[in-house]
Structure 1
Amino acid sequence: MALAAQSQQDGSAGSGGFLVQLPPTSPQRSSVPLVASPASAPAGVFKTVGGFTYDWTALEEAIMDDAQVENAYIIVGNATDSEYLYEFEKGSFSIDRVTPIASASKWFTGALAMRMVQAGLATLDDPMPPPLVFWTTTGTKKDVKLKHTLSMTSGFNANPLVGGCQLLPTMSLYNCAKSIHDLRYDALRPGNAPGAQFSYGPHGLQVAAAYLEAKDTSIAPGTSPARQRNIHELFAQHITTPLGMTSTALYDPAGSAPTNPWIAGGGHSTARDYAKLLRAFLGGAFIVDMDTFTQQRTAGLTRLFVPGSASTWEYALGSFVECDTPAACATSKINSSPGAFGWTGWIDRQTGYYALIATEISSGGDAKGVELEQEMQGLIEDAIESRVPAS
């Protein structure tokens, strides 16, 4: 679920080791390659899309030279052209392979919340009660709002290694949120009020999902007795159905839908589906207020647990704001949500593209995916900037 995370409390790296929490292993699915990867990059890789010709030679060479990501499906696209600007299958990884995406799932919850805000069903400044009727009315915990739970600043993410009810699929999402509320708020650290600390972990998003499920006022059609939609129905209503994401769920779609899905790390998707989400983000019509959705919300906060591969990045609503230095995050237009198995998608609103590394790496995938992403970014920018009108 989580990226490799390091403790940065009091400015130190703790023991210097890395903390990693991974989803339960899932059976390896067989896939048939759609495109055979050549033994070495061809002399030139060109593609004409939308009246322009792009030279992807340098990008493909870098992808093939990367020894850490052996099997992946790579996609680069923009918001205006339905055809991908670039796609490449390295090794054997089908564009339609259903894959556990670990922490890349976090963007799902942020997007769902923003879509429900657009629909008038919630606001980012909503307090947890009254939909979550168990919520306390005393202490700093009473001040937790939806925006805090989505931005890792709620006070519930003390440690990404802490287990808990998010790993109990047969529990109700509501009762899981109550368990987190009752047991997981870190009252031992001074100043642990919502909006005061950035700590990367699973609990805030689990609470956010429970709140959205309880807040929804729509009624599931055809049910008797009538009931509110559950989190899976809301996700389909607001995200997957509008985008035609037919192979994406908050759980492994090969099984049954859990009543308490692992919100921060249990999602599954395909490269084709996830690219639709990234393209929608970039387009600006699916989520109208992209500035609110993508802006940093952790600048200047105490950083307790931060992914090692994102030590200088800030956090938005379900995604990181990428930057080389914390100060640069104020103007950065690059957001991403990498996962522990290397699945890494990102949008660059300044250059005007989205990209995806769809992969499943059993060990150290989070660092390997991000390293390849960082190498790809400059090469993609170069290819876009040097495109030429098609003759």
Structure 2
Amino acid sequence: MKRYGRTNLIWVCGLLALGSIGCGATEDALEPVADEPWGMSRAALTVYEQAALDTANHSAHCHLLGNFYWEIGNGAGLLYGISRGSGVSATTVMPIASASKWLYVGAYVQSRGYANLSTDEKKRLNFTSGYIDENTTLCGDAGTTVSDCYGPAYKNVSYRPLQNGRYFYNGGHMQKLALDDIGARKGTGVASVMDWINALLSTTLPESDSDVAVAGGFSGSAAHYRVFLMKLINNQYELSSKLAVDSVPAWQGGPNVSFTPWTVGQAYYGLGHWIEGEAVNGVWTLTGHSSPGAYGFYPWVNAARTQYMLLARSRQLGADGEGEKSRACAQTIRKAYELGVPQP
């Protein structure tokens, strides 16, 4: 049974909470599978795809997440996608919160060239610079600039000398970097933040007033973010080969860690993104790179940079740990897809 050769998009609706499915399947075919009749290939699922679908519907890590869209792909594009529930698809635009960080850093390193980054710039990118904000506002007022967002009316970023050299997860580091680089840019218009980012990353991310909060104010869809991840694993960015460099401990209780939201095992923080891993025979081993957002948007690429994955959802209920919930669900679906066996 072929795993590749087509792109599947499955929409799942009905009474998911009760485990019953009340709809069919839709496929967006890139090219016909050579040895299958066209009419049959639209409905058929491989054992791997079915395992992923079953896991999305029934896994303990996923069933309480509400509606979401999940996809997996490689450097050539989307391999398989699932919409669970209604209202969230590959093209649904939503606030992506801290998933913004990876995009901003990708553009910043692209504009500078990694070899030209100073020590201070790298510290702002891996959150050890000592620049911490006081407020969590997204600076979403129309006409606000990056510079305004840095100031006391919004983020109120200040330098904390005792935190210099220590890991402190906070958007203030990046807001200081943007202040010094693109401080006059606004959320919308020709001289917008996204105008600058899209030109550098060859993306088409939408503009919003809150884009001036570069560490957490962007919006987009899985389809928008997919372009960035594909180019990242295809070595089209300066950042592509630098995902593991300049990393620092970022887990609770780690050396020189002042504050981190990471609660599951050991992790590091590189240039604007998390470096995930797991214990293999008692040794921590890098498994991938990610940038989960507070509302549940979770982008990921594997350690070998041959595969990407996304889970898109927006649950703005003020609950903690939505990014971690999405990570756990997305990784469980990925495991099912790779093994061809539904996961609990």
**TM score, norm. by length of structure 1:** 0.65
Aligned position for 1:293: 243
Cα shift at 1:336: 0.4
How many residues in Structure 1 have an aligned counterpart in Structure 2?
A: 297
Q: Aligned partners of 1:381 and 1:113: how far apart in 2?
A: 34
Q: Aligned partners of 1:125 and 1:85: how far apart in 2?
A: 39
RMSD: 3.9
Mark the runs of 5 or more structure 2 residues left unpaired by the alignment.
1-8, 15-19, 35-45
Amino acid at match of 1:55: Y
Determine which of 259, 265, 277 is the counterpart of 2:228. 277
Aligned position for 1:117: 112
Change in 2 beyond 3 A, CA 1:156/1:88: same
Kept in 2: contact 1:49–1:85 (CA 8 A): no
Aligned position for 1:155: 130
**TM score, norm. by length of structure 2:** 0.73
Query: Per chain length, whose mean CA-contact separation is higher, i.e. which structure has more relative contact order (CA < 8 Å, sep 6+)?
Result: 1
Aligned position for 1:205: 174
- Give 3-state SS (helix, strand or coil) of 2:315's partner: coil
Aligned position for 2:17: none
Aligned position for 1:374: 331
Change in 2 beyond 3 A, CA 1:270/1:328: farther
Q: Aligned partners of 2:21 and 2:195: how far apart in 1?
A: 45
Aligned position for 1:184: 158
Cα shift at 1:171: 4.5
Tell me, yes or no, if structure 1 residue 90 matches structure 2 residue 84.
yes
Mapping for residues 135-154 of structure 1, pairs under 5 Å = 145-154=120-129
Aligned position for 1:29: none
Kept in 2: contact 1:36–1:89 (CA 8 A): yes
Aligned position for 1:78: 74
Q: Write out per-residue CA displacement over residues 330-363 of structure 1, whole angstroms, 9 at most, x where no aligned residue.
A: x525100001111111001427210100111234
Q: Aligned partners of 1:325 and 1:41: how far apart in 2?
A: 40
Mark the runs of 5 or more structure 1 residues left unpaired by the alignment.
1-32, 127-144, 217-222, 224-228, 252-256, 385-391
Change in 2 beyond 3 A, CA 1:289/1:308: closer
Change in 2 beyond 3 A, CA 1:85/1:47: farther
Cα shift at 1:282: 1.3
Change in 2 beyond 3 A, CA 1:296/1:41: farther
Change in 2 beyond 3 A, CA 1:197/1:36: same
Determine which of 348, 352, 361 is the counterpart of 2:315. 361
Kept in 1: contact 2:278–2:287 (CA 8 A): no
Mapping for residues 210-229 of structure 1, pairs under 5 Å = 210-213=179-182
Change in 2 beyond 3 A, CA 1:380/1:197: farther
Q: Aligned partners of 2:264 and 2:217: how far apart in 1?
A: 21
Q: Aligned partners of 1:88 and 1:183: how far apart in 2?
A: 40
Aligned position for 1:141: none
Cα shift at 1:107: 0.9
- Give 3-state SS (helix, strand or coil) of 1:149's partner: helix
Aligned position for 1:68: 64
Please identify which structure carries the higher strand content: 2
Cα shift at 1:281: 1.2
Q: Write out per-residue CA displacement over residues 52-98 of structure 1, whole angstroms, 9 at most, x where no aligned residue.
A: 97722222211111212221111110003x3x211111001122211
Q: Aligned partners of 2:279 and 2:246: how far apart in 1?
A: 13
Cα shift at 1:186: 1.8
- Among the aligned pairs, what percent are the same residue? 20
Change in 2 beyond 3 A, CA 1:205/1:383: farther
Tell me, yes or no, if structure 1 residue 267 matches structure 2 residue 218.
yes
Q: Aligned partners of 1:90 and 1:78: how far apart in 2?
A: 22
Cα shift at 1:154: 0.9
